[in-house]
Chains A and B, each alone.
Chain A
Amino acid sequence: MYEGAIQDLIDELGRLPGVGPKSAQRIAFHLMQAEPADARRLADAITTVKDTVRFCARCFNVSEAEHCRICQDQRRDGTLLCVVEEARDVQAIERTREFRGRYHVLGGAISPIDGVGPDELHIAELIRRLDDEPVEELILATNPNVEGEATASYLSRLLEHLGVRVTRLASGLPVGGDLDYADEVTLGRAFSGRRELGA
């Protein structure tokens, strides 16, 4: 244990996802040795994000305004809605430039062992959007792992009766992988070969 400020920093860093106690220590000492301007830039970036970036009120993507750029973009095809787990999945799909519709970010996947059920996800908001917007096809792009498949299967059952076409991204994505890791070519191909669900 160190004293005061440095231990506070180590503790805070240690709370970040994927950062263990040893890495936290290494990062903390790296920052101590960094140029003051470099350290300040990092601190400012964190503060700015917290002050200016929030979640889009419609699709829960990250946004600097009430609605994100994609929701505001009138050239987007409003009949196509792609459902993803996290905002970072939106970025992964955007990079492929294969998809011209809009998104809905669930905020995770159903996982009882993590205490996440349908009520913890933005599913009610999704159903409301289907009422309000001219959506004709819903593409379920949850991760190709056990929880992602379960979430897709839950949604397709739930939406079966709403008269909207529900499709799932074609496989070819790495098994057990996050959508985020899928390389752009595979993801692009997955969009062109999506399959019908709930038939």
Chain B
Amino acid sequence: MQLVDLSLRDVRSYAQASITFGPGVTVLVGPNAQGKTNLLEAVLRAATGGSHRVAGDGPLVRAGAELGVIRSTMRTDEGRRRTIELEVGTGRRTRTRVDGQDVRRASDALGVLRVVLFAPEDVALVRGDPGERRRFLDELLGQRRPAYAAARSDYERALRQRNQLLKQARGLRGSAADAAVGTIDVWTEQLISYGTQLIAARVAAVRALRRPTDAFYRDLADRPEPIRLRYRSTAGEQIGDDEAADPDTSTTIPDPGWIAASLRAALAEVAGDERRRGVTLVGPHRDDLELSIGALPAKGYSSHGEAWSLALALKLATYEVLAEVGDRPIVLLDDVFAELDTTRRARLAAACLRFDQVLVTAAVEEDVPLEGARVDVRLEDGVSSVTPRDTQEAG
């Protein structure tokens, strides 16, 4: 898939801007805080309905404006032209149009524009809480198949309902407590049904990420140690086991019946604790993606450089997982090359050549050893502007 055109009106530091993109590499060049990242953020927003920097839609609108508009035009791998348009306002629902048609929910636009974004704060993937890694898997799977995003929101809903019953029953005894948890069995079954779909998809994604993550890490890290990825489920240790999987079919989805049975057993085991604490204690909302570098857990034992390289390797690996189903995604690299030495810059540049389209931001142009289009990004009087450079000259 290729991003053909991006237009912004009253979004962050942009009053009005439009960029046309070609295939291959485009480098967005400009000093820090001039508005380069805002462009990548707008593309990500169009792709996922989320933002990698702030939650909520408010701050996305340029200060003083009421309504911000992001419009993107793509060409699919089959050559079809598609558009996504977002109207973001302060204190109102985001209006999303796909191919000119309003969609009922923002998640209906998921997967139309496919992107892989790496930004410096993604180092939290390795060093942050399990929630960061769960979100990573969920966003990947949601882009891969929109049905996953629907199952995930159903799971969240069933979880909230179940937690509400547990909370109400907390502190009550005997028949009063039993009455308060009244319909809990029904919610437990709902939780198992949606939770099984989530766990199965996440295990499959982790298996598919292994080989490319390891390969990218070897390109990017100082010391090329083997990377290990393992899905650690509160529904049972055995769920993330590699030994259980046939190496030839290791990317296939594990048996849902087996996962459902494991989750049911795990819930039964903690039932007493759940009644005491008033909250659901096992399920995909408590799971983690365990990352190891060599023999050590990456979370506690990696240097900044190692954590950063692993986070980038994971993100680049998602390209392969997304490309398995549907269009090949657009790769967005925010301020990445500055972190690397010359050798590894060259290796990352080589890796970029296999992507159809890459948008890169850089403060120092010479840091990016990639040929391709250049766009200058400047901020003047609080307003950003973009100026494509004449590529005829450079080429």
Contacts and interface: CB of A to CB of B under 8 A. Distances in A.
- Name which of A112, A145, A150, A175 has the most chain B CB atoms within 10 A of its CB: A112
Assign chain A's interface to a size class.
10 to 19
Given A113-B164, A117-B182, A150-B158, A176 B150 contact: yes
Contacts of A146: 154, 157-158, 161, 190, 194
A183 B183 CA distance: 31
Describe B's contact surface by its main secondary structure.
Answer: helix
A193 B162 CA distance: 31
Contacts, number: 47
A118 B150 contact: no
Interface in A104-162: 110-113, 117-118, 145-147, 149-150, 153-154, 157
A150 B162 CA distance: 11
Given A175-B150, A176-B154, A112 B190 contact: no
Contact of A112 (B153, B154, B164, B189): B164
A149 to B, nearest CB: 6
A168 to B, nearest CB: 14
A51 B161 CA distance: 37
A153 B186 contact: yes
B164 A176 contact: no
A113 B156 CA distance: 13
Nearest to B185: A157
Nearest to A176: B150
B165 interface: yes
A59 B154 CA distance: 30
Contact of A154 (B150, B162, B186): B186
Contacts of B168: 112
Contact of A153 (B160, B182, B190): B190
B186 A157 contact: yes
A176 B161 contact: no
A2 B153 CA distance: 40
B276 to A, nearest CB: 18
Interface of A: 110-113, 117-118, 145-147, 149-150, 153-154, 157, 175-176
7 nearest A-B residue pairs (beta carbon):
A112-B164, A146-B157, A154-B186, A113-B164, A150-B186, A112-B165, A153-B186
28 contacts: A110-B183, A110-B186, A111-B161, A112-B161, A112-B164, A112-B165, A112-B187, A113-B160, A117-B182, A117-B183, A118-B182, A118-B183, A145-B154, A145-B157, A146-B161, A146-B190, A146-B194, A150-B186, A150-B187, A150-B190, A153-B186, A153-B189, A153-B190, A154-B183, A157-B186, A175-B147, A176-B150, A176-B154
